Chains A and B, each alone.
Chain A
Amino acid sequence: MTKSIVAIDLGVGGMTCDDCVVHVTDAKSVAGVESARVDFDSRGAVVTAQSDVVAEVLAAAVRTTGHYNAFERRRRAVSGE
C-alpha cells in the first residue's frame, strides 16, 4: 500500500536572512519528508511528506537547526492512497 502524501504548511519564526532559509531547509532530513520549501518573505515553509509525519517532529527538527521555531498551519492532501 502506498502512503498518501500531504503538504504541510508551517509557520516559521526567527529567520532574519537567506542563510536562515538554508538552515531551516536542512530540517527536511526528517524521515518521511519528500521535500521542503522555505520562504523567507512569508516566514513559512511548505513540507511535502508522508501523511504519518507529524508536525511536532518537523517543528522539533526546525528548532534544532538554530534559533528558529515552527508550527503547523495547515495540512492538505496531495495524493491519495
Chain B
Amino acid sequence: MSDPFDLLILGSGSTAFAAAIRAADLGARVAMVERRTLGGTCVNRGCLPSKNLIEAARIVHEAAHPRYAGLTPAEVGVDFTALVEQKDAVVREYRAKKYASVADGLTDVELLEGDATFLDAHTVQIGDRQASGDRILIATGSHPTVPPIPGLDEVSFLTSDLLDADEASRLTELPESLVVLGGGYVAVELAQMFARLGSRVTVVTRSGLLSRYEPELGRILTEVFEAEGIEIIRDASVHRVRGDARGVEVEMRQGSARRIVGAARLLVAAGRTPNTDMLGLERAGIAFDEDGFVTVDAHLRASLPHVWAAGDVIGHQHDSQMATPVGARQGRIVADNAFTDARRAFDGRVIPRAIFTDPPIAVVGLRESEATSRHLPAVSATTPLQHVPRAGAVHRTTGLVKMVASTVDEQVLGVHVIGEAAPEIIHEAAMAMKFKATAADFVELIHVYPTMSEALKIGAQAFSRDVSMLSCCAE
C-alpha cells in the first residue's frame, strides 16, 4: 500500500470538492473516493437536472396559460426524450466544467473509483486496492429513502434518480400517469414538472404538502396544484403496492376508507437516507445514529479525532441542512480544522433554502412554531402578495410573505415566502438576518420599485400597520 494520504475523502460531491480544494491549498495530499459518478447528487441527479426540466415545464405551462388578457394560449409540443437528452448534455457539460476539469487541475488531488469500506480506522478497501488517510472525511451524501411498504420491493418504481444522465435509473419516456408518494420538496417539484409536461399526476401524502414548512406555504401550493389538475390525497397511509408491466396500484387507507390509485409509473419521494450502510463504520469505530447519520460535534469532527463528516451524511445535526451549498461550506470548514488551528464551528442559524415549484418557495430561519417551541417570544405577520406592486403589475399575485420576529428586540427570526422570485429575494432576508436585522431595518432600506424584493419591506411593515392603506413605496 502506498503512503497514506493527508486527507482521504469518501465521496466526490460538493462537500468533498470544497474540502479537497481547500486542503490542497493548505498543502495536503488528498484523495477522493467515488462509487458512482463524479460530482455527487447535485450535478448528476439533483439540483441541476431538476431545475433544467422544471424550467422547460414552466415554458410549456405558461404558453398554454398566459396570465395576460390579450395573449392567446399556445400549445408547445413536448418531445420528452429530446428534452431529457438536452438535460443530459447540460449535466455532462456542467460536470466536466465544474468537477472533472477542477479535479484535473488539482495536482495534489487523486480520484479513486469504487466502493469504499473501512478495514480499520485509517484504511479503506476500494475494489482490489487499499487506501489510507492520516485524516478522513466522510462526505458520501445521501440517496432517496425507500420506505418499508409491502410490495415495493417487487415493483419497478422511480426516485429522483430518474434525473440522472448516465445511470440505469434515468427516465427517458414521459409516463402517461404518475403516482407520487411523498409531500416534501422533491415530491412537489417533480409532481408539478411531470404534470406540466403532460403526465396525469396524483400525489399521495400522509400529512399534506410541505408539512415541515409554515402551513401557509403548503396550503397555497395545494390550491395551485389542484388548479393545475394535480390530485392530492392527504392523510393517506399506504399499506401495499402492486405492479406489473402495465403499471402500478397503490393501496392506501384514508381515515376509515380504503382506496386504490393506479398509474403507469410510481415515484417514491419519501426523504433521503445517508450513504453509510456499506461503509463499515462500526469496523472503524465511527459512531452513527439510528438513521445512519454520522455523529459529529459542532466542528464536524466524528467520534474519532482524525475523522470528520460533512454534507448530507450528517443530516440535521447542529442546525445543518441537506443541501449542496451547506455541504460545500462544511467541506471547507473540515479542511481548515484538519490542517490549521482554526477550530471552526459550523453555524447553521441562517441557511436560505428554496423549492422550485411555481410559484416558488424560499425560507430562512425559524418557523413561528419553532420559535415558540424554543421559548422565544415571537410574533408573525403574513402579507399576501397582492399588496406588492410588482406582483400586481405582472399578474403574479399568488403567494405571501410571512415574517417571524422577536417581541423582545424586534429581530427577524424567520422569513417564509411563496411567490414569484422567492428563491432570489430570500437572500436579502438571509443577509439581513446574518447581521441580526430588525423588522424596522427591512422597512428602512429603500427598495427598488417595483420589485418582488419589496415584499420583504411590505411584509415587515405589516407588523405595525395596515399595508393595504399604503401608497407605492410609502413608509
Do the two chains belong together in a single complex? yes
Q: What separation, in Å, do the CA atoms of A44 and B338 have in the docked complex?
A: 17
Whether A21 is near chain B, meaning CB under 8 Å from some CB there, is: no
With an 8 A cutoff between CB atoms, is B29 at the interface? yes
Q: Are A71 and B339 in contact (CB under 8 A)?
A: yes
| Interchain nearest-CB distance for B391 vs A (Å) | 48
Interface centre among A14, A15, A71 (most CB of B within 10 A): A71
Q: Which residue of A lies closest to B29 (CB)?
A: A11
Residue of A nearest to B27 (CB): A13
**A73 in the interface (beta carbon within 8 A):** yes
Are A70 and B341 CB-contacts (below 8 A) given A11-B6, A43-B108?
no
Assembly CA distance A70 to B6 (angstroms): 12
Measured CB to CB, the closest approach of chain B to A55, in angstroms, equals 10
Known A-B contacts A11-B6, A43-B108, A73-B6; A60 and B341 likewise in contact (beta carbons under 8 Å): yes
Min CB gap A37→B, angstroms: 15
Please tell me if the beta carbons of A11 and B341 are within 8 angstroms of each other in the complex. Answer: no
Instruction: Find residues 1-32 in chain A having any chain B CB closer than 8 Å to their own CB.
Output: 11-15
Known: A69-B340, A71-B340. A11 touches B25 (CB 8 A): no
Contact status A12-B341, CB under 8 Å? no
A53 adjacent to chain B (CB < 8 Å): no
Q: Is A34 an interface residue, CB under 8 A from the partner?
A: no
Say whether B28 faces chain A, with CB atoms less than 8 Å apart: yes
Name the residue of chain B whose CB is nearest to the CB of A42.
B29
The answer, yes or no, to whether A52 is at the interface (CB within 8 Å) is no
A73-B134 CB under 8 A given contacts A11-B28, A12-B27, A14-B25: yes
Known: A71-B27, A73-B6. 4 other contacts (CB 8 A): A11-B26, A11-B339, A14-B27, A69-B25
Cβ A59 vs Cβ B25 within 8 A = no
B29 to chain A, nearest CB (A): 7
In the assembled complex, the Cα of A44 lies from the Cα of B29 at a distance in Å of 10
- Chain B contacts of A13 at CB under 8 A? 24-28, 339
Q: A65: shortest Cβ distance to chain B, in Å?
A: 13
In the bound complex, do residue A59 and residue B341 qualify as a contact, i.e. CB atoms below 8 Å apart? Answer: yes
Cβ contacts B253-285/A at 8 Å (1 or 0 each): 000000000000000000000000000000000
Contact with A along B18-31 (1 / 0, CB 8 A): 00000011111100
> Cβ of A56 and Cβ of B28 under 8 Å apart?
no
Q: Can you list, as one digit per residue, whether each of A47-81 has a CB less than 8 Å from chain B (1) or not (0)?
A: 00000000010011001000001110100000000
Name the distance in Å between B6's Cβ and chain A's nearest Cβ. Answer: 6
- Report the nearest A residue to B107, measured CB to CB: A43
How near does chain A come to B328, taking the closest CB pair, in angstroms?
19
Q: List 8 A-B contacts (CB under 8 A).
A: A11-B28, A13-B24, A14-B25, A14-B26, A15-B27, A69-B339, A71-B6, A71-B28
Q: Report the bound CA distance from A46 to B376 in whole Å.
A: 54
Contacts of B27 in A (CB 8 A): 11-15, 43-44, 69-71
CB neighbors of A among B306-364 (8 A): 338-341
